Amino acid sequence: MIENQINIILNDFKAGQYDLVIRKTKKLLEIYSKNSYLKNLIGSAYIQIGDVSNAIINFESSINLSPKNIAALNNLGNAHKKIGNYKLAEKYYLKALKYSPTYTNALVGYGNLKIDLQNSEGAVEMLSKVVDLNPNNHTAHFNLATAYQTLNNTSKALEHANKVLSIKPDFTPADKLISTLVKYNDNDTHFLKMKLDIDNKKISDFNKIYLHFGLAKAYSDTENAKKYIENIKSGNFLRKKRSKYEVKQDLNLMNKIQSSFKNIEYSKITQCKNEKKIIFVVGMPRSGTSLIEQILSSHSKVFGAGELPFLNNIVGKPFKKNFSVNDSLSTFDEMGNSYINQISAYSNNKDYILDKNPFNFLWIGFIKILFPKAKIIHIKRNSKDTCYSCFKQLFENINFADDQDDLAQFYNSYVQLMNFWNSSLKNFVCNVVYEELIENPRSNIQTMLNFCDLDFEEKCLNFNKNKSAVRTMSISQVKLPFYKGSINSYKKYEKDLSKLFNNLK
């Protein structure tokens, strides 16, 4: 009887009816409370609706009932990875692999974790095991392609991305990935494939988003500006339609931050005594944060850890739930120690660690309290170039860039908040202008290094030879010498994006 009920629930899961799965599984658990499989199933449904806390509770319960439940162990690893608990994620992946060394889900999860930990070579090693075990695992091939891309190994990235499409032709994220790796002409076979697929009614709107952005790249290469911008707009329209994003939430957050820190006298706050040497690189996405990271992480004393989610998880989430800035020092100590503990997952022997999550500009006041000796580099680029560059990119988890009005409002609020930090925390932030950095790199790099108490090293000027992995859309640019091609790139599209540009203050 239970088997039949589980099969019905599994069909609901496959159909994406996750709330229904949770309700039905809860009823079954009233009868079969000691069933490890059901606990894992309901945890998986919670993950799908973004309720990681309840997912973790149920995965842990599943493992307590059956310690060798490798599916639950792997899912628990995935859940901790999702919220940035990388040490715990690694622990559970390794446990699953201890019980089943060839368990492909755990190998894939662990491989992806290694990418997040800036260990792309380790990711390649792990994911290669998966495709050796199962040559038709399209997910493993896709993640391998991504890992090779971060290492700037275009031929290997293309090999595995094309393998994905040979296994699963409608897996359009692979189409989008391929588009970033090739230079198209009008008769390119992959270009023609994407044209056919975009008109295929069997392909979902979700998958067409990737095709629109892939086609935009192809039309850009073939200098068809009209088709290029049409596909960017169409892809963003579908993204906006799916996300139901409301920009007011982010605008209210930035207003709340200013209100909360407006009357803070930092000199009267007993600041944390954390001595960890951290460099935060902040700014709008697509403003040059990846370039700054590549420059500074070329220094012998700096480890570039990429875009870390930790500060937002530790500070942002409580703040959004009415955490008071005037709370006790012990709370701040706990927050600071939590951040330090999480970045310790990155194996390196450098003096400084660099966190280049651009959205840490939101938490500069908290950084001042938690890490008073931290260094903050803020990179600012021409507003129209920045916003055009955001609009044309397919981001994973950024929705304000999908709509011209939303993007303009978010950008204006970002500028207002940065002006607030610069006026209330004088000399705590080093402001760098992207265009000036490109035109006069040596003096601007010297300024940044001086600000960070670092000696000048020629390697910082030759940052394009930095072998560290790059996980952002900027990979093709930051692996080149100083790139001037993106300055004033918006000008071709002023009429097409007038709604966006006219609303920028």
Question: Is the pLDDT at 67 greater than 60, yes or no?
Answer: yes
Residue 58: pLDDT band (50, 70, 90) is very high
Confidence (pLDDT) at 478:
47
Sequence-ordered alpha helix ranges (H) in 32-171: 36-48, 52-65, 70-82, 86-99, 104-116, 120-133, 138-150, 154-167
Q: State the pTM of this model.
A: 0.88
Sheet with 278-282, strands from edge to edge, namely: 302-304, 352-355, 278-282, 375-380, 429-433
In a domain, 178, yes or no: no
In a domain, 195, yes or no: no
Average the pLDDT over each of 61-65, 342-346, 380-384, 416-420 and give the range with the smallest value. Answer: 342-346
Confidence (pLDDT) at 286:
94
In a domain, 215, yes or no: no
In a domain, 446, yes or no: yes
Question: Is the pLDDT at 231 greater than 70, yes or no?
Answer: yes
Which of 285, 501, 279 has the alpha carbon at shortest distance from 377?
Answer: 279
Question: Is the pLDDT at 467 greater than 70, yes or no?
Answer: no
Average the pLDDT over each of 136-140, 392-396, 436-440, 466-470 and give the range with the smallest value. Answer: 466-470
Single out the residue in 63, 85, 101 at which a domain terminates. Answer: 101
Confidence (pLDDT) at 485:
73
Q: Mean pLDDT for the chain? A: 91
Average the pLDDT over each of 9-18, 95-104, 371-380 and give the range with the smallest value. Answer: 9-18
Single out the residue in 84, 101, 118 at which a domain terminates. Answer: 101
- What's the token pair of residue 196? 């056919």
In a domain, 394, yes or no: yes
CATH of the domain at 63: 1.25.40.10
Question: Is the pLDDT at 252 greater than 60, yes or no?
Answer: yes
> Cα-flanking dihedrals φ and ψ of residue 278, to 5°?
-125, 135
Of 369 and 159, which is predicted with more confidence?
159
Average pLDDT over residues 249-272: 86
Question: Is the pLDDT at 468 greater than 70, yes or no?
Answer: no
Question: Is the pLDDT at 18 greater than 80, yes or no?
Answer: yes
Write out the residue range of the structural domain in which residue 69 sits. Answer: 1-101
Cβ neighbour number for residue 208 with a 10 Å cutoff? 19
Question: Is the pLDDT at 298 greater than 70, yes or no?
Answer: yes
Confidence (pLDDT) at 84:
85
Query: How many structural domains compose the chain?
Result: 2
Question: Is the pLDDT at 285 greater than 60, yes or no?
Answer: yes
Confidence (pLDDT) at 226:
96
Which H or E run contains 302? Answer: strand 302-304
237-251 residue pLDDT tens: 999 998 889 999 999
352-411 residue pLDDT tens: 999 999 999 999 999 998 998 899 999 999 999 999 999 999 998 899 999 999 999 999
Of 160 and 275, which is predicted with more confidence?
160
What share of the chain in percent tops pLDDT 90? 76
Confidence (pLDDT) at 329:
62
In a domain, 266, yes or no: no
Single out the residue in 101, 133, 157 at which a domain terminates. Answer: 101
In a domain, 134, yes or no: no
> Cα-flanking dihedrals φ and ψ of residue 67, to 5°?
-60, -20
CATH of the domain at 301: 3.40.50.300
Which of 283, 294, 428, 436 has the alpha carbon at shortest distance from 354?
Answer: 294
In a domain, 34, yes or no: yes
Which of 27, 24, 26, 32 has the alpha carbon at shortest distance from 8?
Answer: 24
